[in-house]
Chain A
């Protein structure tokens, strides 16, 4: 069967932006050294997960970029639910951000986890249930939990490996907090 002919992908935006950033290398376009005028803050104390996990309120740190906000939000979820790691993906499966310990989980275990989540997702998406209700848990070691956060027309997947699944109230709070924080931060999420 012949493969339909179509543009492979559109690189026009990449072309324009990359050219501008390349030309920015000319000395007239920039100082010779990056600024280093901000005083370094004191190193934060090491965190510990020795306390029983509980999802407390989100204390928003001072952030400059949406990516930093994502890290803070995922770090909060990780700590609150005792997860080994937390990640966020857009609806097309692109990685947005992740925190936590990936190195202690063997790659094949992680891969198996995500495969089973993908199968669950596929089954879920073929049903008529609204995507915003999604919360799936793959019972395995480590357990993998995935839930959606409604965002713009699509949504965002947030996944945890290890730890515990959020209660219904916690899930609502997580969704609301992520939505509000991202919405308050900028008109567009870090995925764009």
Chain B
């Protein structure tokens, strides 16, 4: 059973971090891994997707402030093995303080320890490379970088990697890259296609995940219904299977790391 703490982060907003966290979390749980999705974005995108209006206001923020325990804040879902630690109520006027607390070295790792050693933790970070994102990278074993398949998003990846390298050097030597995921790919748009071609050509196959998430209206519909995309059709919507592929790739990488190497997979023939 794999355990890892994965920060899902990007400098650019709107690239699909929350979509990735939610749907990958579901896929990992369906593959039999206890998975906890931790929301670090005070905008509460994840909780807003999943909870009924007026749902829980107790979450990570309250845990960090000492007014709730992790046990009280951790929400079980209908999917066995999938749990959610929402950000909780964050007063917009004091969200600066939330970022300040989360980014203090040692604070978030201590909280995540209370979730237990048997879980895969996915941290859904806010956009940007400051505040809670720095806290997540300081607490993570891995970072996963979703990038929108368009030029501006691709250009911001180097900054994320530079910040990762500095955090690894100065604060968290356990931090490594799990990989880069191409999101919102539109095969009918030349620029999008060119980004994907360039990424395939220039990035190491062990860095770039093979699973690509396309632009598809079903993601908006899933968001409207407050469910993972796989729930949008009986059995499983085809888009849900993409995340199962991604989850399988991720688990393969984690397993190979445990075996002692993080290099490319050997070919079968």
Contacts and interface: CB of A to CB of B under 8 A. Distances in A.
A18 B203 contact: yes
Interface of B: 5, 11-13, 42-43, 64-66, 91-97, 99-101, 103-107, 109-110, 113, 127-131, 134, 138-143, 151, 154-159, 161-168, 170-180, 194-195, 198-199, 202-204, 206-207, 253, 257-258, 260-263
Nearest to A24: B176
Size category of the A interface is 35 or more
B174 A31 contact: yes
A97 B128 contact: yes
B128 A98 contact: yes
Contacts of A39: 106
Nearest to A191: B159
Given A8-B194, A11-B202, A65-B166, A97 B130 contact: yes
B130 A17 contact: no
Contacts of B110: 36, 40
Given A12-B202, A38-B106, A99-B99, 7 more contacts: A11-B199, A22-B178, A65-B167, A67-B130, A78-B96, A103-B43, A191-B159
B130 A24 contact: no
Contacts of B105: 38, 64
Contacts of B99: 71, 99
A29 interface: yes
Contacts of A37: 106
Interface in A108-129: none
A51 to B, nearest CB: 13
Given A11-B202, A15-B203, A101-B92, A34 B161 contact: no
A19 interface: yes
A17 B176 contact: no
Interface of A: 8-9, 11-15, 17-41, 43-44, 46-49, 64-65, 67-68, 70-71, 75, 78, 94-95, 97-104, 190-192
Contacts of A97: 128-130
28 contacts: A8-B195, A14-B157, A19-B204, A21-B143, A21-B161, A21-B176, A22-B177, A22-B179, A24-B262, A25-B177, A25-B178, A25-B257, A27-B257, A30-B173, A31-B174, A32-B141, A32-B174, A34-B175, A35-B172, A35-B173, A36-B139, A40-B104, A40-B110, A44-B101, A65-B166, A97-B128, A99-B99, A190-B130
Contact of B106 (A8, A40, A70, A78): A40
B92 A36 contact: no
Contact of A9 (B91, B139, B155): B155
